Amino acid sequence: MTTSATWKVGRLARASGLTVRTLHHWDTIGLLSPSQRTAGGHREYTEDDLVRLYQVLALRSLGLALDTIAVCLDAGVDPLRLVRDHLAGVEASIAALGALRDRLVRLDEELSADQAPTATALLDALRAIGGTGPEAGHALGRHLDAGEMQVLRTRAAALGPAVHYLLEVEWPELYRGAGRLRAAGTPATDQRVRRLVARMDELSALFTGGDAGISAGVRAAWHDDPAAMSKDPGALADDWRELAEYLDRARHGRA
């Protein structure tokens, strides 16, 4: 993008509705820094910086912490993809709830007429209640029992509106980012790799509560079906095993 306009911190604060203190803090932690310096040594924000500011605010509106947002942006998350993925998830949920409502209405009508519900109506309602989720959910279901899946669902529900982003966008993007670093020959001890691994472990703890059995099941799902877990149809199991070894070396500080 051609940077034809610039903003000093005070002007940007007024235009964005943020405080100067907030912008200074984000600069200090490396989340958003003015990328241009005037001849007099004053630092100014460019149009490219405004794009990043928009991304920061969009991700923050989903309830993500600032350190999480920094990892997401450094991993190259596409904000358009974020919006589209989120919209797809919302629409799928609406469709599933609509199907469940239709089936429950049918059951209500039969019960109100003092009729025993038909087997077809009951089975339809059961299918709607236990409807299938995203492909990653199917992959996890092959390695976790019903109780473990319920733990994941309960902990996911407690995370609120950020859960879709964390599961469907950030987590797969972290693995793709690590894969790109590995393909570029980046040593496992590189700080960029170790930051990605640290965030992966944080996400794992958020959803598993530190349960070793659930964590093992999630790893097995990635091992057996990386295409579903990463939402990348071209992901291969052999590539995943090599990536997992690379990440383990980063986790333990081994080159």
* 32 pLDDT tier (thresholds 50, 70, 90): very high
Q: Are residues 131 and 246 in the same domain?
A: yes
105 and 230, same domain (yes or no): yes
User: 45 lies in a domain?
Assistant: yes
Q: Do both 40 and 143 map to the same domain? A: no
70 inside domain? no
Q: Clarify whether residues 42 and 99 are in a common domain.
A: no
Is there a single domain that holds both residue 118 and residue 206? Answer: yes
Residues 128 and 23 in one domain: no
Domain that residue 143 falls in: 79-251
Are residues 103 and 195 part of one domain?
A: yes
22/147 same-domain check: no
The answer to pTM > 0.75 is no
- For residues 159 and 196, state if they share a domain: yes
Per-residue confidence band for 169, with pLDDT thresholds at 50, 70 and 90: confident
For the stretch 232-252, pLDDT in tens is 666 666 788 888 899 989 988
Is residue 69 a part of any domain in this protein? Answer: no
Contact 213, 227 (CB under 8 A): no
- Which stretch of 5-9, 106-110, 130-134 has the lowest confidence by average pLDDT? 130-134
Mean of the per-residue pLDDT values of the chain = 78
- pLDDT reading at 121 higher than 60: no
- Checking if the pLDDT of 67 tops 70, the result is yes
Q: How many domains does the chain have?
A: 2
Whether 168 and 205 map to the same domain: the answer is yes
Q: How does residue 131 score in pLDDT terms, banded at 50, 70 and 90?
A: very low
- Summarize the confidence of residues 32-39 as an average pLDDT: 87
Same-domain pairing of 112 and 169: yes
